[in-house]
Amino acid sequence: MKNNRGIQNPKFLNIRSLIIAVVLLLSTPALALSGDESGEKFNPSDMISHHISDAHSWEIFHGLTIHLPVIVYSGEKGLDVFSSSNFYDEHHNVVPFNGYVMEHEHISLENGEHVLDISITKNVLFLFINSGILLLIFFAVVRGYKRNEGQAPRGIQSFFEPIIIYVRDEIVKPNIGPKYEKYLPFLLTLFFFIWFGNLLGLLPAAANLTGNIAVTLTLAVIVLIITLASGGKYYWSHIFDPLGSSMPWIAKIPLYIILWPIEIIGIFTKPFSLMIRLFANITAGHIIILSIISLTFIAQSIAVGIGATLFATVMNMLELFVALLQAYVFTLLSAMYFGQAVEEHHH
């Protein structure tokens, strides 16, 4: 596009420069791993695996890595605490240290003996960060309630109050009933922990916290424990005597040989579905976005890069919605399970 003097239109130059800048910005994670100094060919599988898996160090960008503390225990060496930087030489190759070896982020003794690894990994670090953000925000909300008592909410309180009320009135109350107040603090914490964790995972260089199966497993186990501890007489009678008094026990025994295993398996499939749903949805979103960005370096084309960037931007916007949706679904289903546990028989 040229004007009469043969000079390109400045507006067009600005738009083109903006597009190129966006391509470079959104492609930074893949660019950092697009090859090393030896000219190694870009491997999208390695790049994606590196970004969604846990690690003993936090790579903010290529060349800037924060090495986290390694905490291991073994019968042979006892408790050891040291920096994960000891596993790398000056060329960033993985090397043994003090009798320990690390292969694909799994630490063991050089003789092959298993060790108990309770290190502060990248996911653990972001677990602390996520919890710290929750505490900072909601202590500020509490202070707002005290300061603005009897007045309209202001500041950060005005943003979170409608969300809290929605979770209480549209998720917790309808599914648990009159006994909802006992479960409300946990379910609110659960909702915001998952939502904030999902959002943190979308930031550049952040950990895939809620896409880690250990995290989702822990949340699901807590929900299972609360459900079983809350189970009343009607809940357990429905599991062990689902047919009730409609049939004599002699006639029910053959049916219960089939029904009891189904009911008992059903106790565990509910939290299992919670664990898999959150893990799979969050991890799949990360993989899709990183796969789209990888197309730029596979094709080595500006046209493909621009298209991939636009598509990745749309997917990022969609992931913002998914982050909230998955927090909503996890909290809703947890509230339903609690409601089934405390439900009383109605004649």
306-317 pLDDT, tens per residue? Answer: 888 898 889 989
Average pLDDT for 202-211: 88
Mean residue pLDDT across the chain: 84
Q: Which of 129-133, 150-154, 249-253, 301-305 has the highest mean pLDDT?
A: 129-133
Is there a single domain that holds both residue 106 and residue 128?
no
Is there a single domain that holds both residue 167 and residue 96?
no
% of the chain surpassing 70 pLDDT: 86
Contact 331, 167 (CB under 8 A): yes
Which of the listed residues 117, 138, 155 is the one where a domain comes to its end? 117
Place of tokens 């970004």: 51
Please give the residue range of the domain that contains residue 100: 69-117
Average pLDDT for 151-178: 91
Least reliable range by pLDDT among 120-129, 130-139, 151-160, 323-332: 151-160
Tell me if 182 is assigned to some domain: yes
Q: How confident is the model at residue 238 (pLDDT cuts 50, 70, 90)?
A: confident
Average pLDDT for 289-312: 86
Give the chain's domain count. 2
Report the distance separating Cα 17 and Cα 23, nearest Å: 10
Tell me if 55 is assigned to some domain: no
Is there a single domain that holds both residue 148 and residue 274?
yes
Is there a single domain that holds both residue 113 and residue 262?
no
Which of the listed residues 101, 117, 133 is the one where a domain comes to its end? 117
Is there a single domain that holds both residue 100 and residue 158?
no
Q: How confident is the model at residue 93 (pLDDT cuts 50, 70, 90)?
A: confident
Is there a single domain that holds both residue 149 and residue 185?
yes
Is there a single domain that holds both residue 74 and residue 137?
no
Tell me if 97 is assigned to some domain: yes
Which of the listed residues 117, 137, 153 is the one where a domain comes to its end? 117
Tell me if 306 is assigned to some domain: yes
Report the distance separating Cα 120 and Cα 142, nearest Å: 30
Helices (H), the chain: 10-26, 28-32, 44-52, 122-147, 156-166, 173-176, 184-200, 213-230, 233-240, 249-299, 302-342
Is there a single domain that holds both residue 334 and residue 304?
yes
Report the distance separating Cα 130 and Cα 59, nearest Å: 18
Q: How confident is the model at residue 347 (pLDDT cuts 50, 70, 90)?
A: very low
Is there a single domain that holds both residue 232 and residue 97?
no
Average pLDDT for 180-193: 95
Is there a single domain that holds both residue 162 and residue 277?
yes
**In this model, does residue 292 exceed pLDDT 50?**
yes
Contact 341, 231 (CB under 8 A): yes
Average pLDDT for 226-239: 86
Q: Give the pLDDT of residue 59.
A: 85
Q: Give the pLDDT of residue 246.
A: 66
Contact 84, 70 (CB under 8 A): yes
Tell me if 101 is assigned to some domain: yes
Tell me if 177 is assigned to some domain: yes
Which tokens sit at 203?
Answer: 């930031």
Q: Kindly state the helix (H) or strand (E) to which residue 82 belongs, with its residue range.
A: strand 78-83
Tell me if 335 is assigned to some domain: yes
Q: What predicted TM-score, i.e. pTM, was given to this entire model?
A: 0.82
Report the distance separating Cα 225 and Cα 217, nearest Å: 12
Tell me if 142 is assigned to some domain: yes
**In this model, does residue 53 exceed pLDDT 80?**
yes
| Closest-CA residue to 273 (of 217, 199, 321) | 217
Is there a single domain that holds both residue 73 and residue 164?
no
Is there a single domain that holds both residue 193 and residue 81?
no
Q: How confident is the model at residue 300 (pLDDT cuts 50, 70, 90)?
A: confident
